[in-house]
Structure 1
Amino acid sequence: MTVKEKQPASKEQEKVWTEEQQQLSKLYETAREFKKLACWKWISDNHIFGVQNPEDGEIGYCSIMGESENLFGLALFRGSEGLESLNDMLIERDERYAWLHRQKCIMVTYEDRTDLEKRDLAEIKELGLSFRGRNAWPMFRVFDPGFVPWTLDMEQVRFMTAALEQAMDFATRVKKDASLLTAPQSGNVLVRTNESGAWEDRWMEPGFILKRPNKVMMSNQEMLNDIMNRFPNKKGHWETEFFYAPVAVKGEGERPYYPRLAIWVDRTTRSAVGFHLCYDENYEQEFLEHFLKLIEEKGHRPQKLVIRTNETLDLFEKTAQRLKVKIEREPRLVFLEEARQDLFEYFMNNQK
C-alpha cells in the first residue's frame, strides 16, 4: 500500500495568531454581524440601553446609530460622564461641534474604504479580512474629552465586542417584543449584566453626575489687589467663554490633545479684547491671570462680563465679584461667536 505524502502546510495554517490578533479578529467579525443585522431599522438612537463591562463593572450606555441614514454604528458611552455627554447631545444643549470634545465613549462606525486611515487598513489586512461596498468598513475609535479620537486598547476591544454582542441580543428581542423599550419605572435603563457567567437584563437607575465644579478662586491675590487699586475705572461689556481649540497638539504621550482657548470680546465696541491659549491642566488660573492682564492693557475694568456656560461662570464669578464687575448670563454671545469663527479659521489655515 502506498503511503500518501503529507502535504506542506499552507501559509494560513502556518500563521500563529497572537492573543491580541484573536481579540481584534473577533471584534471585526462581531461588527460584521452587527452591520448585517441592521437593527437601526427598528431601534432609534434615542433608545438607550446599557452593557456592564464584565472586567471592571463600568456601565457603557449604548446608542444604535443609523436611523437617520447618515451615520451607522454603535456608540458606547462610558460611565456617568459618558451618559451626561450623550444626554447633552440628545437634547441639543451643546453648541455645534462641542460634543466632539465632550463625549467619553467607544464607537464603531461603518465607513467607506476611503474614510479609513492607513492604520485601520493595515490592521484589516493583517487580520486577513475584507469588506466591500459603501458604509461597510468598520472603524473603531475611543473618544475622551480634550483628546484626539484614538485606537482602542485591548480592554476596550473586549468591552466593545461584548457590547456589540449584547446589542444584537437586545435588538433581536426588541424586534419581537417592543415592550422591552418601556421602562417599568420612569428614568430607569435596561442594562445587560454578567455577574455570574450568564448575561441577564437588569433595570437600573443611571448614576448621573449632578455636582457642579467648585467656584474657582484666583490664587494670585497680590496681582488681583494690584489691578483693583490701579484700575478703578470701568468701561465696556466683555463677552467671554473658553472651549477647546480646533487644532490638536502633541503632548508627552503618543495621543495628541486639544489645548483650551479663551476669548474676550467687547460688545459695546464690537471689537476683540484678546484671547489666550492654554496647553496644560492649570487652565483656570492661567485664564484668570490673562483676564487681569487684559484689564492692565486696556487701562480699565469691564463694567460687565457676559457669559453663556456654567463652566465659564464657575471660572470667573469670584474674581468678577472681587473686581466689582457685574456678570450677566445670556443664551447666545453673538460677537464672541463671530470672533471664535474667525479665530478657528485662522488656526485651521495655519496648522502645520
Structure 2
Amino acid sequence: MPRKRTASVSVSPQRCFVKELVGETPPSFQAMASLYRLASDLYGLRPWRVLDEGNLIVVRDSVSGELCYCSVMGALGEVLSMHAYIGADGLRQFRKMEAEEIADPGEFFATTHCVYVELVPRSELQRQDRELLVALGHPQGKGLASPIFRTMRPGFLPWFVTEDEARTLAECIRGVTVICAAVASQESMKFWERADTYPMTTRVEGPEPRYHIEMFQSILPPEPPVAPARVAEETLLTVRGQDYAVRGVMELDLTYSGAAIGKKGERNSCAAIAMAVDAESGMVLAPEVADSSIAAGDTVAKVFLKAIQASRTLPREVRVRSPKLKDCLTPLMKSLGVSVRVVAKLPASDDARSHLLGFFRGEFDRR
C-alpha cells in the first residue's frame, strides 16, 4: 500500500459510521486509523506471496476470549483480503467452503460470521469508505487500491465494523502480520504440516509489543442439535381440524439469493427463498421470501403449512435435500402423519428455484 499521503481533512470525526450503526457502538476514528495503519503494514508484507488460503492463523480475542481463524486471500491475484472467521462455527464454515460444500454466495452470506479487510479499486468504495480514507490521508491516484473494513454476521450482508469488531479485526491483522514476518524471514518454518494444527499468536506484556507463537490443534466440537421448527399452536390446530385428502409428494426447499432486505444506509439481511413444490406437476404451491436471519426450519415449516392450506391436501411424503432440515421438520411432520425423507435431488424444486433466482437477478423470462 503506498505510503505517500494526501493532506488530511482538517476535522476528523470522533466516531465513524454513526448513522449506519444506529443502536450499536460505532468505531472511534482512532480505532479506524489504527486499522488503516495495520492494513498498510500487512499489505506491505505481500502476505499472499507466502500464505495460501488454507494456511490458517489463530488469534484469541482479548475481550471475548473467542478464537479467530484468519485466512489470507490473494495468491490467485483476484481478491486481496484477510478474513477472520470467528469461533468454532466460523472455523466450521471455513472448512465447508474449503471443501466446496458452500459454493453459492447467498449461502455464504447467510451462514458466515467473520470480520475482514479487503483491498479494492476506488470504484468499489462506498461513500462512507471514501470519506474515511480522505480523513486518513489515503492517496487518491488512479489505479490505487484502497482498504475497506467489514463484518459479516449470519443472515446479513457485509457491513461496517462496530467498535468491538474493529478491535477484533485489529488483533487479527497483528497476528497475521507476526506470522507472515516469521515465515518470510525463515523459509524453513512449516507451521501447517499437521492436520488441524495452526500457529497461534499471543501478545507478551511489556513496554514494546512482542508476540509469542505456539502451535494450536483445533478440534471442532460436534455441531449442536438442531432446534425443531417453531409453529404457532393455533395454526396447527386449524390444520388438524381439517379433513384434507392425503396424496402425492411435496418437495420442500430453501435457497439464498443474496438480494438485500432492508433500507438503504442500514445493515441489510439477505433474502431466503422457501418453496413448497408438488413433485409430480412441478407446481409451486407456496413460495415465500424471508429474512435469512430467521431459522431455516421455521421458514420452511411456514411454507409447508401455507401449501397444504392452499391446496387442501396433505402429502403422503415430504422430501428435502438437507439432513438438518429433516431434523427440524420431523416433529411437525410426525404430528401430521407425514413422512419426511432426505434425497440427493429435488428436480421439481430445482427447476422452480432457477426461475425464481433468475427473477431476483432481473433475468426472469429473458431467454
TM tier, smaller? 0.7 to 0.9
Answer yes or no: is the 8 Å Cα contact 1:166–1:192 preserved in 2: yes
Select 2:104's aligned residue among 93, 96, 101: 96
Deviation larger for 206-215 or 325-334:
206-215
Cα distance in 2, alignment partners of residues 222 and 22 from structure 1: 53
**Residues 167 and 12 of structure 1: CA distance in aligned 2, closer, same or farther (over 3 Å):** closer
Residue 249 (structure 1) shift: 2.5
Answer yes or no: is the 8 Å Cα contact 1:110–1:135 preserved in 2: no
Rg larger in structure = 1
Select 1:37's aligned residue among 40, 45, 52: 45
Deviation larger for 190-199 or 38-47:
190-199
**Amino acid in the other structure paired with 2:102:** D
Residue 164 (structure 1) shift: 1.9
Higher helix share: 1
* TM, length-normalised to structure 1: 0.84
Q: Does structure 1 residue 248 correspond to structure 2 residue 260?
A: yes
Select 1:181's aligned residue among 188, 191, 203: 191
User: In the TM superposition, what are the counterparts of 1:16-27 in structure 2 within 5 Å?
Assistant: 20-27=28-35
**Amino acid in the other structure paired with 1:125:** V
Residue 147 (structure 1) shift: 1.3
Cα distance in 1, alignment partners of residues 268 and 339 from structure 2: 38
How many residue pairs match? The answer is 339
- Secondary structure of the corresponding residue to residue 137 of structure 1: strand
Aligned to 2:158: 149
**Amino acid in the other structure paired with 1:149:** P
**Residues 141 and 298 of structure 1: CA distance in aligned 2, closer, same or farther (over 3 Å):** same
Aligned to 1:216: 228
Select 1:191's aligned residue among 180, 194, 200: 200
Select 2:285's aligned residue among 273, 295, 299: 273
Cα distance in 1, alignment partners of residues 282 and 168 from structure 2: 50
Aligned to 2:136: 127
Cα distance in 1, alignment partners of residues 244 and 10 from structure 2: 80
Task: Output one character per residue of 1:263-321: Cα deviation in whole Å (capped at 9) or x when no partner.
Answer: 11122112212212345847755642442231122121112211112332132112222
**Residues 165 and 88 of structure 1: CA distance in aligned 2, closer, same or farther (over 3 Å):** same
Aligned to 1:165: 174
Aligned to 2:147: 138
**Residues 276 and 145 of structure 1: CA distance in aligned 2, closer, same or farther (over 3 Å):** same
**Residues 220 and 155 of structure 1: CA distance in aligned 2, closer, same or farther (over 3 Å):** closer
Deviation larger for 165-174 or 286-295:
286-295
Aligned to 1:345: 358
**Residues 53 and 213 of structure 1: CA distance in aligned 2, closer, same or farther (over 3 Å):** same
**Amino acid in the other structure paired with 1:172:** A
* TM, length-normalised to structure 2: 0.81
User: In the TM superposition, what are the counterparts of 1:53-68 in structure 2 within 5 Å?
Assistant: 53-68=61-76
Task: Output one character per residue of 1:123-164: Cα deviation in whole Å (capped at 9) or x when no partner.
Answer: 101122215564721111111111121111233223322322
Cα distance in 1, alignment partners of residues 203 and 44 from structure 2: 25
Q: Percent identity?
A: 20
Answer yes or no: is the 8 Å Cα contact 1:227–1:296 preserved in 2: yes
Residue 96 (structure 1) shift: 1.7
Structure 1 residues not aligned, in runs of 5+: 1-10
Cα distance in 2, alignment partners of residues 17 and 293 from structure 1: 50
Answer yes or no: is the 8 Å Cα contact 2:229–2:297 preserved in 1: no
Cα distance in 2, alignment partners of residues 332 and 131 from structure 1: 50
Deviation larger for 326-335 or 300-309:
326-335
Aligned to 2:342: 329
Q: Does structure 1 residue 309 correspond to structure 2 residue 322?
A: yes
Relative contact order higher in (CA < 8 Å, ≥ 6 apart): 2
Aligned to 2:3: none
Aligned to 1:5: none
Cα distance in 1, alignment partners of residues 147 and 230 from structure 2: 47
**Residues 34 and 188 of structure 1: CA distance in aligned 2, closer, same or farther (over 3 Å):** same
